Structure 1
Amino acid sequence: MLDSAIFAWIHQLVGWLLEPVTVAMLALLALAIWDVGVACGERFGGLARWRLLPAAEVERRARRRLERSDLIARLGPILGLMGTLIPLGPGLAALGEGDLKVLGVAMRVAFDATVMGLLGGMAGFVLGRLRRRWYDELLDAMERETEGAR
């Protein structure tokens, strides 16, 4: 039953996904590193310049940056899980055939993908939490200044 052509085709398709998933995970980690730099710039001077902008523009910018952080936080673990599960199929098949070398390589790839995905997710989560606090504080301060000017 599990030897049908459909399952063979699905297995082939999933095997082709490992490389694109790995490239996507590396791109996501590069985006996370870049976003950490942007967040450092915001924290050490960038947000002070945002005070000169209208509140609607601050909210728009904040929303876009929070969405990017949330995307990194969610996609990292998803890509990590995909990168974990894809090599496990061939690895377990190799175990059934007694080829421990292939199993070892598959397990190494699987665990590396897990760690990289969790690293990306952690970076996105931390950035999102910090930014939410920073933006809330900025908008509260801008609101107090506006009320004080009246």
Structure 2
Amino acid sequence: MFHGVVLGALHQFVGLLLYPVLAALALAVLLTLWELGLLLAERFVSLRVYTTGCQQRFGRYANRRLERSDLLARGGPILGLMGTLIPLGPGLTALGSGQMDILATALTVAFDTTVVGLLVGLLSYCISRIRRRWYEQVWAQMTTMTTASDHHAAT
């Protein structure tokens, strides 16, 4: 008796997670597109500003940008997997009772969320890798400029 109640409550809880997961996945797509736009802006505008600025300020900026894209790179596939597994329970139940239309809908949601989650992860991973390379180049340039200005001040 208790076992059935616990499993029923767990099934209900997991079922309630589907729409928040779908909403979070949609938000992750929007944030990934936002980060892609920021990446383009950094390439052509904003990184040039930091080459003449304070290293500490640039370090904070770089960490904030990398944390966000790293979070999306890891979180997107996790949300996609959750969106895959959640509808499979009702889909398998529908299969057992011969309701193929419910099974088809559940499988469609499952596969779509997988693809979207992986796309978010892939794009965000690429954004992170490109940013890391650019930030390392800017950091090296800032360090060289600081070293050169310290050398000139000493002479």
TM-score (norm 1): 0.96
Q: Percent identity?
A: 47
**Aligned twin of 2:139:** 139
Matches within 5 A, 1:34-113: 34-113=34-113
Q: CA-to-partner distance for each residue in 1:85-135, whole Å, 9 max, x for gaps?
A: 000000011111111111111000000000010011111101110000000
Aligned residues: 150
Consecutive unaligned residues in structure 1, runs of 5 or more: none
Identify the range of structure 1 (12-21 vs 1-10) with the bigger mean alpha-carbon deviation: 1-10
Q: What is the one-letter code of the residue matched to 2:35?
A: D
Deviation at 1:2, TM superposition (A): 9.5
Distance in structure 2 (CA, Å) of the matches to 1:43 and 1:103:
46
Q: Which runs of 5+ in 2 are unaligned?
A: none
Structure 1 segments (4+ residues) deviating >6 Å: none
Does the residue aligned with 1:61 lie in a helix, a strand or coil? helix
Letter in 1 for 2:71: L
2:52 is paired with a residue whose SS is: coil
Tell me if the contact between 2:81 and 2:113 (Cα under 8 Å) persists in the aligned partners. yes
Greater Rg over alpha carbons, structure: 2
Q: Distance in 1 between matches of 2:113 and 2:71?
A: 18
Matches of 2:109 and 2:115, distance apart in 1: 10
Say whether 1:120 aligns with 2:120: yes
| TM-score of the superposed pair, with normalisation by structure 2 | 0.93
Contact 2:52 2:142 in 1 (8 A): no
Aligned equivalents of 1:102, 1:140: Cα separation in 2: 57
